[in-house]
């Protein structure tokens, strides 16, 4: 698996909330589209352990039974 460049991700957004005890949360896409569900399995497969409210993240959107899920997560580094 190769590290991805943030500019190659389909969507950028901000973590609305993520609850590790529940294993899920939501991301607000910067493009103004509907919030995106994020599950702990997406974090695991992206090598992340958690997300923080207000964190900037890049991700791909995946349709799943009427729900839009985040995949291929990449946290933006603070500058």
Residue boundaries of the structural domains of the chain: 10-75
Per-residue pLDDT tens for 10-55?
799 999 999 999 999 999 999 999 999 999 999 999 999 999 999 9
Judge whether residue 79 has pLDDT over 60. Answer: no
Provide CATH code, domain 10-75.
2.40.50.140
- 71 near 59, Cβ under 8 Å? yes
Q: What is the pTM of this model?
A: 0.83
């Amino acid at each position: 698996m190769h590290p991805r460049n943030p500019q190659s991700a389909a969507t950028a957004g901000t973590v609305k909330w993520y609850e590790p005890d529940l294993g899920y949360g939501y991301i607000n896409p910067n493009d103004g589209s509907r919030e995106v569900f994020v599950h702990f399995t997406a974090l695991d497969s992206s090598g992340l352990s958690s997300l923080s409210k207000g964190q900037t993240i890049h991700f791909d959107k995946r349709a799943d039974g009427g729900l839009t899920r985040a995949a291929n997560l990449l946290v933006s580094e603070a500058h």
